[in-house]
Each structure stands twice: as C-alpha cells, then as structure tokens.
Amino acid sequence: MTKKILYRGAEAEIRLSEYMGKTVVQKQRVKKAYRIEEIDRQLIAYRTKEEAKLIAEARSHGVSVPLLYDVDLVKGAITMEYLDGNRVKDILNVLEESERRSICLKIGESIARLHNHDIIHGDLTTSNMIFLNDRIHFIDFGLGCKNIELEAKGVDLHVLMEAFESTHSKYSHCFKDVLKGYSKQFQGDAGAVVEKIEEIVRRGRYR
C-alpha cells in the first residue's frame, strides 16, 4: 500500500492510499502538540464524525462530494474517493474570463444545494473545491455543521467572499457570479442571505 503524502493541511495529512484495489485518499487528522489533550481529543473526534456525516448527507442531496469508504473515529481518519481534478484555487486566476464566471456560477449553485438542506460547509475557500467533470466538488467539511439559521448561511458565504478578496483579489468581482448562481438554486429567500452577508461585513471591525 502506497502512503504518499499528497498535502499537509493545517489539521490533517492527506495521503494517497489503496482501498480494495481502488486509489483513495486518506485524511488523517493529526494530534496538535500546541493544544491541551482535552481540546485536542474533542476536536479531532468531533470534526471527523461531523465531516463524515456531512459528506454523506451532501451526497444524498445530489451535491458532488467524494465517496466515503471508511471512517475511523479512534484514529481520526476518513478514507474517501480520490478526485483527480483541479483545485479551484489553482485554476481560477488563470482561466478565461467567461470560464471563470461560469465556474463561479456553478460554485454558487452548489453552495445553494448544500444550504437548501441546512448543511453549512464552514470553510468555503477555493482550496476546498475541486473542479472535475464540469462539476464543483466540495471537500473538507471539518468545520461544517447543520444549522437552520440565516446567520450560519451568511457566515458561510462571507468566508468565501473573504477568500475571493485575499486569494483572487483581481477577480473578486466574480463573487457576484457566485451569488447569482446561489440565488438561482437556493430555495429560500436568497435576498435575505445576501443582506445577511452585508450585515456581517458591516459589523466587522473597521467597516
């Protein structure tokens, strides 16, 4: 079994591995020596469990996410499908404007499909989206939760807005396309969510 580290994130190591003859990804949350045992244990167990639950539920509602193969709560490891696509973070700045805007529309539509079922991703950055087969796949639900409140949906999109401003500053206008796609697909009051984002911006410091 190969155990090549694909990516070392802030809280987990992502390895390429094999599972019943398939190439898979193993996401292993690692113990953090900087925090006390009580917090470390609780965060790792809780996030692993929540992430697996949310991925499974997102899939059941037709949102593109990796297939789950195995979850080990003791080790804090999730084994899932390897998505051989591109991180949106890596391609967004180099695409043609029309393609970029079309991807942003799709991002918005896919977020709306999550929000239609009160699934909050929790860390919507372009690093956590994989573009494959013309679809946006979400990964890393580690900070996610289920929440029916408008506030949670607003904060979720606000995180993405900030990612656009910091990582794709030349194309931050494309966040409008994200909202356009979102409004098209969201079954609730999309206008209220957009207003909520504006409210969150206003109550931030120095706004």
Q: Which residues bind another protein (CB under 8 A)?
A: 8-11, 32-36, 38-39, 42-43, 122-125, 127, 143, 155-156, 158-159, 162-163, 165-167, 169-170, 200, 203-207
Shortest Cβ 152–another protein spacing (Å): 9
Check residue 35 and report its DSSP letter.
S
Shortest Cβ 118–another protein spacing (Å): 16
* Of 40, 84, 118, 123, catalytic: 123
- What token pair was written down for 102? 């079309």
Give the chain's count of helices (H) and strands (E): 6, 10
The CA distance from 45 to 75, in Å, is 8
Closer to another protein by Cβ: residue 133 or 205: 205
The CA distance from 41 to 35, in Å, is 10
123 included as an active-site residue: yes
How distant, in Å, are the alpha carbons of 15, 54, 178, 196 from that of 108?
Answer: 29, 18, 4, 16
Shortest Cβ 67–another protein spacing (Å): 25
Please enumerate in sequence order all residues whose Cβ is within 8 A of that of 107, keeping only pairs 6 or more positions apart, or say none: 88, 129, 136, 160, 178, 181
Tell me which H or E stretch contains 71.
strand 68-72
Closer to another protein by Cβ: residue 49 or 67: 49
Shortest Cβ 143–another protein spacing (Å): 7
At residue 112, what are phi and psi to the nearest 5 degrees? -60, -40
Closer to another protein by Cβ: residue 70 or 149: 149
Catalytic residues: 123
